[in-house]
Amino acid sequence: MQKDSIGVFDSGVGGLTVLKSLIELLPDENFIYFGDIARLPYGTKSDQTIKRYGFQDASFLIEKGVKLIVVACNTVSSVALESLQENFDIPIIGVIEPAAKVAVSIADKSLGIIGTAATIKSEKYIMLCQKFAQNEGKSLSILQKPTSLLVPFIEDGWKDSNILELVIKEYFKDFIEKVDTLVLGCTHYPIIQDKIQSICGKNIKIINSANAVAYEVKRTLEKNKIENIVKNKKNRDVRLYVSDFNDTVFYLTELILGNKYPLKKIELVDIFGSSSK
């Protein structure tokens, strides 16, 4: 058991976009990532189910002895972050607040948020953006839109297809011209950020939460004095666990992380049965 790792979980491997930023910003830290491929997508499930899944995912990482958990999944961060923070006594960081802070500071007059159905229904982004805008004395119009079809397109390897382009254009009709800044409120969307940018045009500023979250994790490690102070870059450990394998796991892992990082072989775990070690 590794006691000094940072745990990261997501409903699938899309959260590797967050892991990548963490690996780059925190070169001396070890990481354990869990992707719940077997139960993906979370974004179309009820709040009750998302809370239950989030609790099980966090419990798996706690059993592994992690010192801090990053909830890379926007859906779990929107619906279940507070209940996770109440249930576990290590720092638990979601992706919504760091992204909302950056978005509000960057937006001029109008902010748009896209995410899964559950993320948008929770209105978590809207509430936090309004709070931060008020703190900054900034007047912003804030709009949001569920864009549920984007995840399955990316999962199925259709990220470069014309059909995906049409779907994005349809979602953005009567929406994108009303915003100057767009928050990618889902783990998968950074994978198609270039496509989204080319459809929106270069005048729209796009916020991808991964870097903002990594800085928040760095601050939290320092504040709690739990950062790894031993220079560890060469020997560090990055472990990936999934609850199921399919071709997407390998395709997206390679697409997001490439071959640059010291990854161990992806391991299959059963977090639902007795073999959840």
Catalytic center residues: 73, 186
Should residue 14 be labelled a site residue for ligand DGL when binding is judged by CB under 6 A? yes
> DSSP letters of the chain?
--TTEEEEEESSSTTHHHHHHHHHH-TT-EEEEEE-GGG---TTS-HHHHHHHHHHHHHHHHHTT-SEEEE--HHHHHHHHHHHHHH-SS-EEESHHHHHHHHHHH-SSEEEEEE-HHHHHHTHHHHHHHHHHHHHT---EEEEEE-TTHHHHHHTT-TT-HHHHHHHHHHHTTTGGG-SEEEEESTTGGGGHHHHHHHH-TTSEEEEHHHHHHHHHHHHHHHTT-S--S--GGG--EEEEESS--HHHHHHHHHHHTT-S-BPPPEE--SSSTT--
For ligand DGL, the closer of residues 31 and 153 by Cβ is: 153
Phi/psi for 154 (5° steps) reads -70, -45
Q: Which of 5, 30, 116, 147 binds ligand DGL (CB under 6 A)?
A: 116
For ligand DGL, the closer of residues 41 and 91 by Cβ is: 41
For ligand DGL, the closer of residues 80 and 227 by Cβ is: 80
- Residue 115 C-beta: closest distance to ligand DGL, Å: 6
For ligand DGL, the closer of residues 54 and 115 by Cβ is: 115
Q: Which of 187, 208, 248, 253 binds ligand DGL (CB under 6 A)?
A: 187
Should residue 122 be labelled a site residue for ligand DGL when binding is judged by CB under 6 A? no
Should residue 10 be labelled a site residue for ligand DGL when binding is judged by CB under 6 A? yes
Chain residue whose CB lies nearest ligand DGL: 43
- Residue 4 C-beta: closest distance to ligand DGL, Å: 26
- Residue 216 C-beta: closest distance to ligand DGL, Å: 16
Phi/psi for 258 (5° steps) reads 60, -150
Should residue 11 be labelled a site residue for ligand DGL when binding is judged by CB under 6 A? yes
Mask of contacts with ligand DGL, 153-172, x by CB under 6 A?
A: --------------------
CA distance 84 to 70: 11
Q: Which of 30, 74, 122, 147 binds ligand DGL (CB under 6 A)?
A: 74
- Site size toward ligand DGL (CB under 6 A) is 18
According to CB under 6 A, which residues from 31 to 60 bind ligand DGL?
Answer: 40-43
Should residue 119 be labelled a site residue for ligand DGL when binding is judged by CB under 6 A? yes
Q: What angle do CA 90, 96, 101 make, to 5 degrees?
A: 110
Q: Which residues bind ligand DGL (CB under 6 A)?
A: 10-12, 14, 40-43, 73-75, 115-116, 119, 151, 186-188
